[in-house]
Amino acid sequence: MLLDSIKTQIDTLSKSEKKVAIAVLKNPDLAVAGNITALAKNAQVSEPTVVRFCRALGYDGWQDFKLKLAQTLALAVPHADELPLQSDLAADLVNKICSRSINALLDLRNNLHPAAIEKALDILSRSSKIEFWGQGTSGIVAADAQHKFFRSGVHTVAYADPHIHAISAALMKKGDTVVAISQRGNSTSLLHSVQLARRVGADVIALTPSGTPLADLATALVPIDLSFNIDPYTPISARLAHLVVIDILAVGLALKGGPEFRKKMQNAQKALQKLDMQFDSFLRHPPKI
């Protein structure tokens, strides 16, 4: 995800910082093996430019960036970027798809800043209402989020229709929160609704790549940086990363809520268990017709 983050943010960097980005992307192993002087020389920039590049990506400096890059390379699952082929056997598909998903989650764990999660949780914990917006595959993530959050007693809804979340945005007020979910961060209709929500004083938590228009509009950004190309299977990994972030936020909010939140979730679970028991009884003793 660190390399993907560089790819998604490269257009936001200065001309000299882009040279550093290209040097790192071209040979990340060399960047880890060398020092700041070597990287600066390879990119044909000054050492302060390398530091500015690191800080532009959200790191404290060269050493912090280098450590994260080393972790990313060390934990990467081999051959995870190999594309599925028509000639692949089932064993090949299992290896490639699972490796791709594992890599996405490892990258998420190693590069998702705790401060971003903490800021999002602070906003969610004081929200009077939480709405999840997404379109296409992100709409599926929004529906999953609504399912997870409402079980803890939070007033939540999920909208995937751009007309509906535009209307909802105009009716929001200060104290309400939108969690806007987008794999690319540039959907015109979603951006329009987010702008409306911000205008009336609602907070917006964006689950989207860094450096995108949606990220720029957010009150709090939880960056999910995955590269996109012509590979049609990339969105599978992206959606998985988004779902895990939703889990992190849902669990974090429940823990912030204390025993009362836990009790609500237990009551919801008991209601489901009771329904399952009634259905099992119905199957064992069906009514006579």
Of 47, 105, 97, nearest to 72 by C-alpha is 105
Give phi and psi for 131, each to the nearest 5. Answer: -120, 140
Look at 5-9, 10-14, 224-228, 241-245 and tell me which has the smallest mean pLDDT. Answer: 224-228
Domains, the chain, ordered by start: 1-75 (1.10.10.10), 77-110 (no CATH), 114-257 (3.40.50.10490)
The reported pLDDT for the residue numbered 82 is 66
**Residue 79 identity:** H
Mean pLDDT over the full length of the chain: 86
Percent of the chain residues past pLDDT 70, beyond the cut: 87
The reported pLDDT for the residue numbered 110 is 78
The reported pLDDT for the residue numbered 94 is 81
The reported pLDDT for the residue numbered 45 is 94
The reported pLDDT for the residue numbered 286 is 65
Give the list of residues 6+ apart from residue 101 with CB closer than 8 angstroms, or none: 236, 237, 240
Burial, 218: exposed, middle or buried (Cβ in 10 Å; 0-12, 13-18, 19+)?
Answer: buried
**What own/partner pairs with CB < 8 Å and gap ≥ 24 does 20-29 have?**
20/45, 20/49, 20/50, 20/53, 21/53, 24/69, 28/3, 28/69, 28/72, 28/73, 29/73
- If DSSP codes are grouped into helix, strand and coil, which group holds residue 283? helix
**140-158 pLDDT, tens per residue?**
999 999 998 987 777 899 9
Of 280, 224, 274, 216, nearest to 248 by C-alpha is 224
Q: Quick one: average pLDDT of 199-203?
A: 96
Burial, 43: exposed, middle or buried (Cβ in 10 Å; 0-12, 13-18, 19+)?
Answer: buried
pLDDT at 159 over 90: yes
pLDDT at 280 over 80: no
Using CA atoms, how far apart are residues 119 and 147, in angstroms rounded to an integer?
22
pLDDT at 174 over 60: yes
The reported pLDDT for the residue numbered 271 is 73
**36-85 pLDDT, tens per residue?**
999 999 999 999 999 999 998 888 899 999 998 888 787 766 655 666 67
Look at 162-171, 208-217, 226-235, 266-275 and tell me which has the smallest mean pLDDT. Answer: 226-235
pLDDT at 219 over 70: yes
Of 228, 276, 265, 238, nearest to 105 by C-alpha is 238
CB contact at 8 A, 43 and 19: yes
The reported pLDDT for the residue numbered 281 is 59
Q: Quick one: average pLDDT of 174-200?
A: 95
The pairing of strands 176-181 and 129-133 is parallel
Give the list of residues 6+ apart from residue 125 with CB closer than 8 angstroms, or none: 253, 256, 257
Give the list of residues 6+ apart from residue 46 with CB closer than 8 angstroms, or none: 16, 40
- If DSSP codes are grouped into helix, strand and coil, which group holds residue 81? coil
pLDDT at 1 over 70: no
**87-106 pLDDT, tens per residue?**
888 888 888 788 888 888 88
Using CA atoms, how far apart are residues 173 and 195, in angstroms rounded to an integer?
13
Q: Quick one: average pLDDT of 125-149?
A: 93
pLDDT-based confidence at 245, cuts 50/70/90? very high
Percent of the chain residues past pLDDT 90, beyond the cut: 51
Instruction: From residue 181, give the alpha-carbon distance in Å to each of 111, 188, 285.
Output: 19, 13, 45
